Amino acid sequence: MKEQNNQWIKDLVVYGALFIILLVVASILPAATLFIVALMPVPLTIFTYKYGYKRGLLMSGIVLVSTLLFAFTLFLISLPLAGLSIVVGILVGEAMRKQKHPYETLAQGTLGYMVGFILLVFVIENVMGISLMTEYRLIIQESLMQSEQLMQGTGIEVTEEMLQSIEQQMLVILDLLPAILLIGSFVFALILQWISYKLVNKINQETFRFPPFYRLQLPKATIWLFLLVIVIDFIDFGSDAFITIVLMNMLVVFGLLFSLQGLSFMFYYLQYKKQSKALGIVLLVIGLVILPVGLYVTRILGIIDIGFMLRKRLK
C-alpha cells in the first residue's frame, strides 16, 4: 500500500515536470505552439488514466501554483494554454480510464479542445485586449496593398472592385471560425489520443487502439439532419444574419463528415475486394492533391454509402 502511495507521488512529480517543461518550451518558442497544443496534455492524460480525475486535478493545481510561485511572468503568458491542456488532458485521461470507445474518447477530446479554444479566444480578447478580428482585417489590408503594388509594378491593371471582391472572400474565414475551431479541435484531439494510446500501451502494457478506419459508419440520421440544414439554407435570412452564419458552418462540418465517410467506404471496398492498402493511400493522396474536387467526390460517395447502405449491398 505504501509503495502504491509513493508511486503516484513519484508519477505526479515526473508528469508534472514534463507538463511544466512543455509550458516553458511553448513560452520560449511561439513557433512550436501548435505542436505543443497537441503534446502538452499528454502527461496529464496518462496521469489521469492511471490515478483518476481527482488526482489529475490535484496535479494541475500543483503545476499552476508552482509556475505562479517560481515564474510569475511565465504563469501569465502560459495560463490560457495550460488551462486548455488541463481540460483536454483530464477529459481524455478519464475516458481512457473508464475504457470508453475510442470514438467516444475522441468526442470528449474534441469537446475539451473546443471549450479550451473558446476560453483562449476569450482571454486574448477580454484580458489581453487583443482583437483577433481586427488583427486579421489589418493583415488582409496589408496583404492586399502589397499585392496591388506588386501587380501594378508588373503592369497588371487592378480595380477597386477586384480588391473588394478578394477582401470579401478572405473575410469569409471569420464567419467560418466556429467550423474551423471544431475541425481544428478534432485534429488536435485525434493526435493527442493517438500519442496517448501509444505511450499507455508501452508503459502499462495495455491494448488501446482505434478501430479500423474502414469500419467508420455515421448514423443514417446524419443524412436527415443534413437535408434539414439544406432546406433551411434555401430561406434568405440575409448574408449577415446569425442563422445564416450558423448554417454555413454546419454545412462545412457536414461536408467534412461525409468526406470522411466516403474515404472510409473506399477503404472498406478495397478490404472487401482484398486489395492492397497501398492503393487506398495512393487514392487518398490523389484526392488531397486535386482539392477541392477530391473532397466533393468523397463527399458524394459518403452520402450514397449512408443513404443507400452500400456496404450491405456489397454483402
DSSP the chain: -HHHHHHHHHHHHHHHHHHHHHHHHHHH-GGGHHHHHHHTHHHHHHHHHHH-HHHHHHHHHHHHHHHHHH-HHHHHHHHHHHHHHHHHHHHHHHHHHTT--HHHHHHHHHHHHHHHHHHHHHIIIIIS---HHHHHHHHHHHHHHHHHHHHHHTT----HHHHHHHHHHHHHHHHTHHHHHHHHHHHHHHHHHHHHHHHHHHHH-----PPPGGG----THHHHHHHHHHHHHTS---TT-HHHHHHHHHHHHHHHHHHHHHHHHHHHHHHHTT--HHHHHHHHHHHHHTTTHHHHHHHHHHHHHHHHTHHHHH-
Grid coordinates in use for 56? 489529475
In this prediction, residue 198 carries a pLDDT of 92
Say whether pLDDT at 61 is over 80: yes
Of 11-25, 42-56, 129-143, 201-215, highest mean pLDDT: 42-56
In this prediction, residue 71 carries a pLDDT of 58
In this prediction, residue 192 carries a pLDDT of 93
**Mean pLDDT score of the chain, rounded to an integer?**
82
Of residues 240 and 22, the one with the higher pLDDT is 22
Of residues 197 and 171, the one with the higher pLDDT is 197
In this prediction, residue 43 carries a pLDDT of 92
Summarize pLDDT for 252-294 with one digit per residue, the tens: 888 888 988 988 898 888 888 887 778 877 877 777 666 666 6
In this prediction, residue 74 carries a pLDDT of 59
- Average pLDDT for 216-239: 85
Q: Residue 80: which pLDDT band, with cuts at 50, 70 and 90?
A: confident
In this prediction, residue 72 carries a pLDDT of 56
In this prediction, residue 199 carries a pLDDT of 92
Q: Residue 63: which pLDDT band, with cuts at 50, 70 and 90?
A: confident
In this prediction, residue 178 carries a pLDDT of 84
- Average pLDDT for 44-72: 84
Summarize pLDDT for 110-137 with one digit per residue, the tens: 988 988 888 877 777 777 677 777 777 7
In this prediction, residue 248 carries a pLDDT of 86
Summarize pLDDT for 23-37 with one digit per residue, the tens: 878 777 777 777 888
